[in-house]
A and B are shown apart, each in its own frame.
Chain A
Amino acid sequence: MPPEDEGGSITVKLDDLLHQRRMTLTELADHVGLTLANLSILKTGKARAIRFSTLRAICRALQCQPGDLLVYEEG
């Protein structure tokens, strides 16, 4: 298991990307084959981890890079 957080945080920019792509969370859920509940957890920043398969599916659906979706912010 990874060590406890020591300042800094990862922010999920899913909301911004969806807004730019004029796409709803439900549409994205249909595209990537994830449940709306799981995508909602990711969007609200409550997720503790993200699978590569999920990241890959979201990047494919939104035509973006992982760095566009996840941003590290100094705490």
Chain B
Amino acid sequence: MSEKSEDALLLSGRMLARLLQWLCALAGGVVLLLIPIIVLVSQDMMPGFSSTNRSDTIEASPLSAIAIAVMLALILALLFRFFGKLRAIILSVGEGDPFTPENARRLDAMAWLFLGVKIMTVLVAGLRLHLASLMDKGAIDGNVLGFSLYDLDALLIVIVLFVLARMFRHGSAMREDLKGTV
């Protein structure tokens, strides 16, 4: 691979990670703003909102709706941290020094963060299911209960990240040994 194409790859990776961080922050802000709106709607303090389907959902169980919003905000916060660590790793690759204990720790943290995201996603799906059952409209969509290949992908990503972290830890120890070799 030429140095130019490698640089383009690192640059686009870094920019994408930064963009995703911004998107997570933006979406997180929007979700946090939704929490007081949910509270107001559940207290009938927003009359213009009461005729919509969304208000039915909130009135069915305001606590569940708030819990979903909080968990979505947490998922976005975890993803924000995940992309931050990814950006730091890409930066270190660009600097020509990727095999460091710090990067091993970052990969470990990324694996835990992604696992956290996956667990929170399952919890959100459970809460959506709970809300749907409360509304008793038989309108439980496939996304709530469906099992998709994405679930396996996510687990695979977690495993790959843990393995990569171990490889980086081993690589940084070998590099440390090589440093003192004359």
Question: Which residues in A have their C-beta under 8 angstroms from that of B26?
Answer: none
The size of the chain A interface, using a CB distance under 8 A, is 13
Task: Determine if B180 and A48 form an interchain contact, defined as CB atoms under 8 angstroms apart.
Answer: yes
Interface residues of B in 139-182 (CB under 8 A from A): 173-174, 177-182
Let me know if A39 and B182 touch, CB within 8 A. Answer: yes
Contact yes or no, A49 B173, CB < 8 A: no
For the complex, give the distance between the alpha carbons of A54 and B180 in Å.
13
User: Would A49 and B174 count as touching, CB distance under 8 A?
Assistant: no
User: Residues 31-59 of chain A: 1 if any B CB is under 8 Å from the residue's CB, otherwise 0?
Assistant: 00010001101100011111100100000
Neighbouring B residues of A48 by C-beta, 8 Å? 177, 179-181
Contact call B182/A42, Cβ cutoff below 8 A: yes
Is there an interface contact between A1 and B180, defined as CB atoms closer than 8 Å? no
Question: Nearest chain-A residue to B178 (Cβ)?
Answer: A49
Please determine whether A51 and B182 come into contact, CB atoms closer than 8 angstroms: yes
Closest Cβ of chain A: how far from B8's Cβ, in Å? 35
Q: List residues of chain A with CB under 8 Å of any chain B CB.
A: 1, 34, 38-39, 41-42, 46-51, 54
- Report 6 cross-chain contacts, Cβ distance below 8 Å, ordered by A residue: A1-B174, A1-B177, A34-B182, A47-B182, A48-B177, A48-B180
